[in-house]
A and B are shown apart, each in its own frame.
Chain A
Amino acid sequence: MITLSDVQVKFDQLTIFDHLQLEFESNKTHVLLGPSGCGKTTILRLISGLLKPTKGEIFLDDKNITQIEQKDRSSLLGFMVQEGGLFPHLTIRDNILLPGILHKKDLTCLKTRLKELVEMVQLDPLHLNRYPIELSGGQKQRAALIRALILDPPVLLMDEPMSALDPLVRMSLQKSLKVVFNELKKTVILVTHSLNEASFFAHETYLLNSGKIEQRGSFEEILKNPATEFARDFINSQVPLV
Chain B
Amino acid sequence: MKYILIVFFLCSTIFAKELPTITVGSKPFTEGYITSEIIAQIIENVGEARVVRKFGLGGTGVVFSALENQEIDIYPEYTGTISEAILKQKNLKTISEIQKALEVKSMTTSESFGFNNTYALALKRDYSEFKHLVSMSDLKNFQTIKGGFSHEFLDRADGFRAMSNHYNIELKNKVSMQHALAYEALKNKQVELIEVYSTDAKIEKFNLRILKDDKNFFPKYLAVILTSKSFVKKYPKTWKVLTDKLVGKIDTREMIKLNALVELEGKTIKQAANYFLNIKSSGESFGIFKRIRPLLIEHLEMVAFSLIAATIFGIIAGVFASKFKFFAQFILLITGLFQTIPSLALLCFLIPLVGIGKPPAYVALFLYGLLPIVRNTYSGIQSIDPKLKEYSQILGMSSLEKIFHVELPLASRHIMSGIKTSAVINVGTTTLAAFIGAGGLGDLIVSGLTLNDHRVILMGAIPSALLALAIHYFFELLDLIVIPRGLRIGEK
Which residues does A use to contact B, with CB under 8 Å? 48-50, 69-74, 79, 81, 83, 85, 87-91, 98-99, 102, 131-134
Contacts and interface: CB of A to CB of B under 8 A. Distances in A.
Contact of A85 (B388, B398, B410): B388
Contacts of A71: 395-398
Contact of B486 (A48, A79, A88): A88
Interface in B446-492: 484-487, 489-490
A85 B391 contact: yes
Given A87-B486, A89-B484, A98-B405, 18 more contacts: A49-B394, A49-B396, A50-B393, A50-B394, A70-B393, A74-B395, A74-B396, A79-B391, A83-B387, A87-B405, A87-B409, A88-B410, A88-B486, A89-B486, A89-B487, A91-B486, A98-B395, A134-B489
24 contacts: A48-B394, A50-B390, A50-B394, A71-B396, A71-B397, A72-B396, A73-B396, A85-B387, A85-B388, A87-B388, A87-B406, A87-B409, A88-B410, A89-B486, A90-B409, A98-B405, A102-B397, A102-B401, A102-B405, A131-B485, A131-B489, A131-B490, A133-B490, A134-B489
- CB-based closest 10 A-B pairs: A71-B396, A131-B486, A89-B484, A70-B396, A74-B396, A85-B391, A89-B409, A133-B490, A89-B486, A79-B394
Interface residues of B, number: 22
Nearest to A79: B394
Contacts of A69: 396
Contacts of A133: 486, 489-490
Nearest to B410: A89
Interface in B362-405: 387-388, 390-391, 393-398, 401, 405
A87 B388 CA distance: 7
Given A69-B396, A71-B396, A85 B490 contact: no
A133 B406 CA distance: 16
A81 B393 CA distance: 13
Interface string B226-242: 00000000000000000
Given A48-B394, A74-B394, A102-B397, A81 B387 contact: yes
B490 A81 contact: no
A232 B134 CA distance: 120
Chain A CB within 10 Å, residue with most, of B388, B390, B394: B394
B389 to A, nearest CB: 10
A146 to B, nearest CB: 14
Contacts of B412: 89
Contacts of A85: 387-388, 390-391
A48 to B, nearest CB: 6
B391 A81 contact: yes
B486 to A, nearest CB: 3
A87 B396 CA distance: 15
Interface string B276-288: 0000000000000
Contacts of B397: 71, 102
Nearest to A88: B486
A49 B410 CA distance: 24
A166 B394 CA distance: 27
Contacts of A89: 409-410, 412, 484, 486-487
B414 to A, nearest CB: 13
Nearest to A83: B387
Nearest to B486: A131
A191 to B, nearest CB: 15
A99 B490 contact: no
Contacts of A134: 489
B490 to A, nearest CB: 5
Contacts of B393: 49-50, 70
A73 B484 CA distance: 30
Contacts of A50: 390, 393-394
Nearest to A99: B395
Contacts of B489: 131, 133-134
Chain B CB within 10 Å, residue with most, of A69, A87, A89, A98: A89
Nearest to A48: B394
Nearest to A130: B486
A133 to B, nearest CB: 5
A131 B487 CA distance: 9
A85 B384 CA distance: 12
B391 A88 contact: no
A152 to B, nearest CB: 15
Interface string B252-286: 00000000000000000000000000000000000
A72 B394 CA distance: 11
A74 B391 CA distance: 11
A90 B387 contact: no
Given A83-B387, A85-B388, A98-B405, A90 B486 contact: yes
Interface in B408-430: 409-410, 412
Contacts of B391: 79, 81, 85, 87
B481 to A, nearest CB: 14
B18 to A, nearest CB: 58
